[in-house]
Amino acid sequence: MQSKQLKQWIRNGGEPECIIMTCSESSMYQPEIKVHDKFEPITDAQGNNMHFNSLVNTKNELKKIGFTKAVLELDVTSDEMLGEPIVAEDCFQRMEITL
């Protein structure tokens, strides 16, 4: 969904769920919103998926759109204590953050 449409949705009282996807080995953050029970990326006016190189930049842009909170979803591909792969259902850490 385009950020412009999303701003309008929020201004009209909508409260879409927003997650920020990132991987523990990466410094890239991609915000997504839940539409019709599935998550899709937020896009700019040219249709490009929005992504940012820091959590601060991500939070600032989401505030401009109108969000007040989001869930940071961190994909952890290995157990950092043991250095071993972990099972799929254990690979995400979710943290609610205030914007």
Give residue 87's pLDDT band: very low, low, confident or very high (50, 70, 90): low
Three-state SS for 35-95 is: ECCEEEECECCCCCECCECCHHHHHHHHHHHCCCEEEEEEECCEECCCCEECCHHHCEEEE
Question: Does residue 56 carry a pLDDT above 70?
Answer: yes
Least confident of 32-36, 72-76, 94-98: 72-76
Cβ atoms < 10 Å from Cβ of 59: 20
- 26 vs 44, more confident: 44
pLDDT category at 25 given cuts 50, 70, 90 is: confident
Distance from C-alpha of 95 to C-alpha of 25, rounded to nearest angstrom = 17
* pLDDT at residue 77, rounded to an integer: 65
